[in-house]
């Protein structure tokens, strides 16, 4: 992964670039170099440095050669050698062999600029690999790449993960492809840590080699068999940003959606006969088109998702799934390049995704990608099947995610999947008010909108900052198909990308359904939100382990399941904790009754909480388990991490969920009172003195406005809490009362 590190003031090497191209160097092929034809520098002749601009200790060493005869370019401490190639910054390929004898300074942790070699742009900007020393770099062990202005060598760093040992010759290749951008190779293996977009070069016009620039005795390096091939203008696509959730995008999507009817038992739609369904050769949704081998009878569920009466065979999908060499080189990201070519996939699909943390939609997925699950066309579908198809994120596209974050393929932990749609195969036509069965449900339990117990939803007065309900309709409209974790495989245009936002979207959606909006206004969101709950509940029913507490991750999944179960009269889903006691939900695993050091009787159970399956506090080797029973004077790094996550990424996103549950009187179904009382504590406990104590004992300052208790992330939620929480009969001081804390004591005891 790319490591971006802070800049430090260091002495720098300044490269003087000649005004025009110089081509009087020794070349093995003879003649003037031309684009596409390699020119080789062997340093065997007396005038081998003709055409180079050199300063300091730069010589031809006739005693050393990679092949055993001839000479090499020797760069001693303080030396610099520059070869100007042309007067334009364009593409091309440079290969060179560098001899590293493994020498290191006495203090390898002190800042020092060792030998480097690489490309230079016309304005002096550089991308070079080499040996840099600092407390956070292993310069004595491995190589680092630096992208900078030719002066500030610690500005933009990429730790390459390439070892210097054993001492000897190393082949380095800088392949600046006209479309794919800059690729760096060590001994013919790509070094994927170098991100072409972060390098900042638009091409290159020179090659440079710098000697050790540190104080005292420095290292000497040798260069041999350098090859240069020049290319044409660079045509790397520019980065484009888009927001699929802005007002214009929402309006465009809304214009293509079907009107949502409020179906009840009184106006329940009839089930169509088979020959009443349209006969279609293909169907499309969210930019994905499925084409059948033979025209088939199709229909749509109440939320708009398509079904086909089977059996049926899908012979083509658009956008076309791509594999191996079909994927353009310029589209490969670092994760792709770690895969075998035959394991690379774009716009992938899965027939019947397993309720497990493994997918095969896109080879850019971190952690959870399983190449054994890659499927290819045609797809034979039988009743009971669900086909999840995806569109991959292209490189250089930055999408705004729901409520927060920007997602770009190959950058940090971003998902490489743009959108997803589901085609379901059924055995018979379905009524217009049928919900799509959960995509992990092979038994295809069908729920009907006519059976929704809408009377359970209150009509609490909305407040001034109520968001546009159309925004949350859009947030929940496309299927939330995330079976994994950390958002690594979650479609950006479908669902939230981080646990905090997952919890916020779930909570605010539920809270909007509790307002005094007209039923017709609520219905699209109601249908979408219930469908989300059906899908999440279907995962758990099929054996999914749930969504564990892990910092801000793991929130927001339980509420849609509970509400869907309550509104549909499904007792198993409504009481999901009782039905599936070992399933993990972040909100529950991170809250428990116990004595907090603040005097509260309910605690935040830590970054990683208490494992629902075992009842053991999770430390994950970092002290991330329960901690609030300890005074801050006893906290170590793991406990400080937990306190930070309590304030930044969990509690502020839980308030809407807790209030919605209270308004619906769903406390019993939720089945974990500690969560509800913890949110009351978060909103009512005065933490002013506690923040001061934490700073005194740990040095960590939580006195920023966004980190203080007594607030939710969103103004609408704060207003609704202030207006409606006091009106509920349930006391707000449950967090001050003594409860059975044996569960917590057992968790910390283990």
User: In angstroms, rounded to a whole number, what is the distance separating the alpha carbons of residues 190 and 179?
Assistant: 17
The pLDDT score that the predictor gives to residue 450 is 98
Q: Tens digit of pLDDT for each residue in 524-548? A: 999 999 999 999 999 999 999 999 9
Positive/negative CA dihedral, 62, 66, 70, 72? negative
Residues 559, 507 contacting (CB under 8 angstroms): yes
Structure tokens at 667: 């406390």
User: In angstroms, rounded to a whole number, what is the distance separating the alpha carbons of residues 564 and 438?
Assistant: 12
The pLDDT score that the predictor gives to residue 217 is 86
Does the N-terminal peptide bond of residue 305 adopt cis geometry, omega within 30 degrees of 0?
no
72 — phi, psi (to 5°)? Answer: -140, 165
Residues 183, 192 contacting (CB under 8 angstroms): no
The pLDDT score that the predictor gives to residue 24 is 34
DSSP state of 146: E
Please name the residues in contact with 603: beta carbons below 8 A apart, sequence gap of 6 or more. Answer: 591, 592, 593, 594, 595, 596, 626, 628, 629, 678, 744
Structure tokens at 516: 């005094």
Helix, strand or coil, per DSSP, at residue 527: helix
Average pLDDT, 10 consecutive residues per value, the chain (750 residues): 32 30 37 65 85 94 86 96 95 97 94 97 97 95 96 95 96 94 95 88 96 92 96 88 96 84 96 98 98 98 97 98 95 93 98 98 98 98 98 96 96 95 98 98 98 98 97 98 97 97 98 97 98 98 98 97 98 98 98 98 98 96 97 98 98 98 98 98 98 98 96 97 97 97 94
The beta strands (E) that lie in 495-618 are given as: 546-547, 584-585, 591-593, 602-604
User: In angstroms, rounded to a whole number, what is the distance separating the alpha carbons of residues 370 and 406?
Assistant: 26
The pLDDT score that the predictor gives to residue 50 is 87
Architecture of domain 39-230: Sandwich (2.60)
User: H or E stretch including 578?
Assistant: helix 576-579
The beta strands (E) that lie in 121-231 are given as: 126-133, 142-148, 156-163, 168-177, 181-186, 189-190, 206-210, 221-230
- Choose among 620, 577, 542: nearest CA to 356: 542
The pLDDT score that the predictor gives to residue 197 is 81
Chain centre to alpha carbon of residue 723:
36
- Choose among 664, 364, 646: nearest CA to 529: 664
User: In angstroms, rounded to a whole number, what is the distance separating the alpha carbons of residues 721 and 661?
Assistant: 12
Full strand arrangement of the beta sheet holding 142-148: 52-55, 80-84, 206-210, 112-120, 126-133, 142-148, 156-163
Please name the residues in contact with 31: beta carbons below 8 A apart, sequence gap of 6 or more. Answer: none
Neighbours of 551 (CB within 10 A): 22
The pLDDT score that the predictor gives to residue 528 is 98
CA angle 313, 315, 321 (to 5 degrees): 125
Residue 640 burial (C-beta neighbours within 10 Å; 0-12, 13-18, 19+): buried
Transcribe 292-346 into DSSP letters. EEEEEEEEE-TTS-EEEESSEEEEEEESPPEEGGGS-GGG--HHHHHS-GGG-EE
Residue 695 burial (C-beta neighbours within 10 Å; 0-12, 13-18, 19+): middle
The pLDDT score that the predictor gives to residue 9 is 28
Domain with CATH 2.60.120.200 in the chain: 39-230
Instruction: Please tell me the pTM assigned to this model.
Output: 0.86
* 306-309 and 417-426 beta bridge pairing: parallel
């Amino acid at each position: 992964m790319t490591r971006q590190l802070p800049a430090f003031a260091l002495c720098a090497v300044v490269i003087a670039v000649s005004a025009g191209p110089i081509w009087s160097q020794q070349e093995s092929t003879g003649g003037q170099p031309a684009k596409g034809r390699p020119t080789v520098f062997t340093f065997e002749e007396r005038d081998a440095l003709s055409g180079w601009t050199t300063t300091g200790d730069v010589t031809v060493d006739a005693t050393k050669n990679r092949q055993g005869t001839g000479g090499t370019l020797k760069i001693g401490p303080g030396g610099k050698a520059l070869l100007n190639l042309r007067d334009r910054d364009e593409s091309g390929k440079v290969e060179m062999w560098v001899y590293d004898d493994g020498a290191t300074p006495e203090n390898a942790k002190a800042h020092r600029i060792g030998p480097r070699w690489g490309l230079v742009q016309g304005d002096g900007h550089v991308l070079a690999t080499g040996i840099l020393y600092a407390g956070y770099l292993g310069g004595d062990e491995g190589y680092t790449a630096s992208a900078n202005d030719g002066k500030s060598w610690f500005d933009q760093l990429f730790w390459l993960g390439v070892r210097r040992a054993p001492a000897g010759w190393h082949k380095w290749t800088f392949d600046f492809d006209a479309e794919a951008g800059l690729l760096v190779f060590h001994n013919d293996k790509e070094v994927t840590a170098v991100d072409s977009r972060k390098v900042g070069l638009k091409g290159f016009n020179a090659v440079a080699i710098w000697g050790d620039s540190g104080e005292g005795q420095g290292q000497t390096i040798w260069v041999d068999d350098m090859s240069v091939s020049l290319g044409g203008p660079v045509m790397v696509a520019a980065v484009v940003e888009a927001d699929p959730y802005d007002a214009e995008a929402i309006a465009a999507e809304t214009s293509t959606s079907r009107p949502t009817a409020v179906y009840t038992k009184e106006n329940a739609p009839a089930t169509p006969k088979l020959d009443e369904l349209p006969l279609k050769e293909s169907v499309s949704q969210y930019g994905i088109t499925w084409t059948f081998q033979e025209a088939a009878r199709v229909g749509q569920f109440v939320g708009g998702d398509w079904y086909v009466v089977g059996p049926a065979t899908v012979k083509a999908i658009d956008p076309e799934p791509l594999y191996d060499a079909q994927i353009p080189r310029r589209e490969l990201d670092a994760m792709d390049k770690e895969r075998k070519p035959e394991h690379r996939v774009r716009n992938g699909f899965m027939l019947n995704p397993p309720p497990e943390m493994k997918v095969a939609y896109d080879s850019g997925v971190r952690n959870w990608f399983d190449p054994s699950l890659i499927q290819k066309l045609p797809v034979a579908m039988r009743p009971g099947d669900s086909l999840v198809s995806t569109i991959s994120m292209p490189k250089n596209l930055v999408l705004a995610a729901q409520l927060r974050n920007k997602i770009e393929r190959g950058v940090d932990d971003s998902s490489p999947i743009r959108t997803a749609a589901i085609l379901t195969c059924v055995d018979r036509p379905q009524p217009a008010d049928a919900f799509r069965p959960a995509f992990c449900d092979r038994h295809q339990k069908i729920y009907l909108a006519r059976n929704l117990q809408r009377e359970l939803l209150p009509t609490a007065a909305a407040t001034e900052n109520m968001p546009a309900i159309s925004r949350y309709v859009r947030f929940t409209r496309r299927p939330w198909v995330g079976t994994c974790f950390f958002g690594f495989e979650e479609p950006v245009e479908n669902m939230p990308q981080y646990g905090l936002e997952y919890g916020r979207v779930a909570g605010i959606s539920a809270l909007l359904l509790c307002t005094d909006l007209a039923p017709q206004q609520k219905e699209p969101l109601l249908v979408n939100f219930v469908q989300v709950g059906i899908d999440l509940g279907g995962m758990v029913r099929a054996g999914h382990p749930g969504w564990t507490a892990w910092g801000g991750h793991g929130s927001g999944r339980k509420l849609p399941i509970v509400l869907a179960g309550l509104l549909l009269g499904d007792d198993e889903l409504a009481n999901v904790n009782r039905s599936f006691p070992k399933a993990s939900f972040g909100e529950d695993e991170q809250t428990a009754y116990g004595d907090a050091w603040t005097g509260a009787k309910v605690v935040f159970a830590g970054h990683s909480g208490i494992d629902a399956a075992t009842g053991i506090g999770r430390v994950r080797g970092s002290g991330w388990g329960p901690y609030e029973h300890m005074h801050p004077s006893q906290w170590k790094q793991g406990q400080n991490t937990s306190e930070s996550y309590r304030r930044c990424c969990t509690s502020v996103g839980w308030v809407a969920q807790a209030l919605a549950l209270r308004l619906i009187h769903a406390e019993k179904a939720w089945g974990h009172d500690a969560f509800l009382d913890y949110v009351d504590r978060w909103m009512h406990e005065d933490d002013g003195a506690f923040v001061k104590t934490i700073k005194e004992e740990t040095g960590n300052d939580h006195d920023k406005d966004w980190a203080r208790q007594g607030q939710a992330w969103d103004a609408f939620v704060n207003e609704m809490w202030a207006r409606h929480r006091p009106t509920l009969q349930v006391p707000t001081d449950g967090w001050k009362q003594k409860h059975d804390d044996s569960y917590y004591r057992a968790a910390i005891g283990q």
